[in-house]
Amino acid sequence: MMPTETQKQLKITENAAKKLAKLNIQTAWDLALHLPLRYEDETHVMPIADAPLGVPCQVEGTVLFQEVQFRPRRQLVVRIADHSGSVLHLRFIHFYPSHQKQLAEGKRIRAVGEIKHGFFGDEMIHPKIRDAENSGLAESLTPVYPTVNGLTQPNLRRMIQTALDSLPLHDTLPDDLLGRLNLPHLAESLRLLHAPPPELTVQQLSDGTLPAWQRLKFDELLAQQLSMRLARQKRISGEAKPLNGDGSLSLRLLNALPFALTQAQQRVVGEIRADLAHTYPMHRLLQGDVGSGKTIVAALAALTAIEADTQVAVMAPTEILAEQHFIKFKQWFEPLGLNVAWLSGSQRKKAKDQNKTAVSDGLAHITVGTHALFQDDVQFHNLGLVIVDEQHRFGVAQRLALKNKGCDVHQLMMSATPIPRTLAMSFFADLDVSVIDELPPNRTPIKTRLVNSARRAEVEGFVLATCRKGQQAYWVCPLIEESETLQLQTATDTLAVLQQALPELKIGLVHGRMKAAEKAGIMSEFSAGRLNVLVATTVIEVGVDVPNASLMVIEHAERMGLAQLHQLRGRVGRGAAASACVLLFSEPLSELAKARLKVIYEHTDGFEIARQDLNIRGPGEFLGARQSGVPMLRFANLEEDLQLLEKARELAPQLIDHHPATVTAHLNRWLASRESYLGV
């Protein structure tokens, strides 16, 4: 919370300081940088008769009538009329005696709000009220700030003004630079945005291209770029054991594989090996669309580390996925004489203890598991490389645990969710990125079909036909987020319905509530081809790899996000047979659902899908900001402000090299009390 000194200086009460803390405001600078969400125009009054519907406006009139009504609920209803005689209703669902007093019959008041057609005719709900007898019209636009309950706009406005007056608002950026960038001074920009001059309109102020806004956005982007760069410098000045493998194990694995690496795979393997040879920790993200073959790349990285006499940990977000990796790595590594260990949360204590000992004695060359791998009591003998699959699915806590385990180990993160360039440039600036931009050969493209759920019987017929050809199918149950019990119920119902409709097929079920061993059992039955159809909740979303499965049916596809649909669809099309994905949907479809289904129908390229997803949802949602703990930008917008971002990116290293004092000052202003960008 705000230090008492600052509170005193800014004349802020203890109580207000608590509210400010909720807004993440702890310093005078935080207040100065707390910028309006929008502006209200209270500079003139509209005749009620001319006031437009649905847009904010101000009217003035005399109260004709006031009543507390109880139907349909307790509310205060007021009728006013202006000099032209037009009448308007004001309605308050929450009100205090002070409202009733302020709105007594005969009082002349001004009301600011949006007029709507209501039950009583035209009305404003919860307008802002001002006494017209004792207060003049505002001279300039009124800023409206983001706030919390109990902290009023006038109060915030006053505190912000005090902060602005008390701060040395001198610029951190040198004048010649501002001139080159064509940006105004910070002081001028802040004053303008907090107290706009009378000549500016709401429209002008809401337009992000206003020079004052550009300046603030630039400063924000610059702060982000600077802190990312510094984080990178810090990492690079750290120490890690350089892992120079002699390539002997890798070569043996490559020779044993039934396929040759694609060009793209070879390239990224090279990039990773170069990183591992450094004396500072690698921090690399391996991106590749679903099915692009990231696992073998990870395996080769692991072998490089093992050749250099260090241990490797492979962490996956779910037990199913971790188990798949475990099986795969065993199959690849045991013939090379290596020990592959397994650690998961659901493991029995005895087995777990045994594995932990193998890990701490250094007997286990590679350990695969869920985040159980990074619990406190797991000690590695000589950990050199950590591989994290589906990195974006891990929460902040898990990533922190990993980080604490050894800041100085090399990290390889893998993700099938492509990060658009702008995001990569801003939020992942401390990650080096390798991209597998080529699918293994001989993949047949997946046909996607959108089918109304009324035609479910036809889809069942299609499943039968597919399985009669010796291929296999997934049937994904609808996602029910509200309740795990309902989700389970739906899954068992779906199984029963399918078994009845398709008695000749062997159908298995896998869901999130099953024990890991049970799940693994069913999965291996399906992998081995002993089940024709696998009914699943979305637990199969990531990583499952059964090349003989060529049909994916997804029920209630309209409920799923784009990334999830793309991941699910990527479970098929892995073998030589032509594959299909049937998206069953139920009407009515929301606009969002329609937009998503259109994208997934039209596109198969994961990068394009992610780009469209970003368009539909915006970057905050896209990143799952809250879960990932990535601090979002407040003012700049990655789509609109790309040019500013590029300028900030270009400038950041120059400032760090030549103007270290500017860097410190800038970061102090922007990030002093904010969650650090340097975090996880």
Question: Which residues from 261-280 bind ligand ADP, rule CB under 6 A?
Answer: 261-262, 265
Residues 6+ apart with CB under 8 A from 679: 396, 629
Place of tokens 């971790």: 322
Nearer to Mg ion, 196 or 543 (CB): 543
Question: Which residues from 507-546 bind Mg ion, rule CB under 5 A?
Answer: 543
291 binds Mg ion (CB under 5 A): no
Binding mask 279-298 for ligand ADP (x = CB under 6 A): ---------x-xxxxxxx--
* Helix (H), strand (E) at residue 157: helix 153-166
In angstroms, give the least distance from the CB of 293 to Mg ion: 9
315 binds, among ligand ADP, Mg ion, none (CB under 5 to 8 A by kind): none
Binding mask 558-597 for ligand ADP (x = CB under 6 A): ----------------x-----------------------
Among 313, 416, 522, 583, binds ligand ADP (CB under 6 A): 416
In angstroms, give the least distance from the CB of 2 to ligand ADP: 48
- Yes or no: say if 228 and 424 are a contact pair by the CB < 8 Å rule: no
In angstroms, give the least distance from the CB of 477 to Mg ion: 22
Beta-bridged to residue 88, according to DSSP, are: 80
Nearer to ligand ADP, 96 or 259 (CB): 259
317 binds Mg ion (CB under 5 A): no
Place of tokens 């479809």: 589
**Spatial separation of the C-alpha atoms in residues 258 and 577, rounded to whole Å:** 18
- The stretch near ligand ADP (CB under 6 A) out of 20-28, 124-132, 256-264, 620-628 is 256-264
For residue 146, the 8-state DSSP code is -
Nearer to Mg ion, 127 or 543 (CB): 543
In angstroms, give the least distance from the CB of 518 to ligand ADP: 23
Tell me whether strands 108-118 and 128-131 are parallel, antiparallel or unpaired. antiparallel
- Yes or no: say if 638 and 423 are a contact pair by the CB < 8 Å rule: yes
Q: Is the peptide bond before 174 cis (omega within 30 degrees of 0)?
A: no
Nearer to Mg ion, 303 or 582 (CB): 303
| C-alpha separations of 215 from 179, 209, 447, 635 in Å | 12, 10, 48, 10
**Spatial separation of the C-alpha atoms in residues 323 and 274, rounded to whole Å:** 29
Dihedral over Cα of 81, 82, 84, 86: its sign: negative
Place of tokens 């040198």: 174
78 binds, among ligand ADP, Mg ion, none (CB under 5 to 8 A by kind): none
- Yes or no: say if 293 and 263 are a contact pair by the CB < 8 Å rule: no
Nearer to Mg ion, 78 or 315 (CB): 315
Nearer to Mg ion, 321 or 652 (CB): 321
In angstroms, give the least distance from the CB of 435 to ligand ADP: 12
In angstroms, give the least distance from the CB of 439 to ligand ADP: 8
In angstroms, give the least distance from the CB of 324 to Mg ion: 8
Closest-approach residue to ligand ADP (CB): 293
Dihedral over Cα of 546, 549, 551, 552: its sign: negative
384 binds, among Mg ion, ligand ADP, none (CB under 5 to 8 A by kind): none
Neighbours of 469 (CB within 10 A): 10
- The stretch near ligand ADP (CB under 6 A) out of 257-265, 421-429, 486-494, 529-537 is 257-265
**Spatial separation of the C-alpha atoms in residues 206 and 383, rounded to whole Å:** 53
Among 208, 395, 440, 508, binds ligand ADP (CB under 6 A): 440
Dihedral over Cα of 117, 119, 122, 124: its sign: negative
Question: Which residues from 631-670 bind Mg ion, rule CB under 5 A?
Answer: none
**Spatial separation of the C-alpha atoms in residues 546 and 472, rounded to whole Å:** 9
**Spatial separation of the C-alpha atoms in residues 492 and 478, rounded to whole Å:** 12
**Spatial separation of the C-alpha atoms in residues 232 and 221, rounded to whole Å:** 17
Binding mask 539-578 for Mg ion (x = CB under 5 A): ----x-----------------------------------
547 binds ligand ADP (CB under 6 A): yes
Which positions touch Mg ion (CB under 5 A)?
Answer: 543
Question: Which residues here bind ligand ADP, judged by CB under 6 A?
Answer: 259, 261-262, 265, 288, 290-296, 416, 440, 545, 547, 574
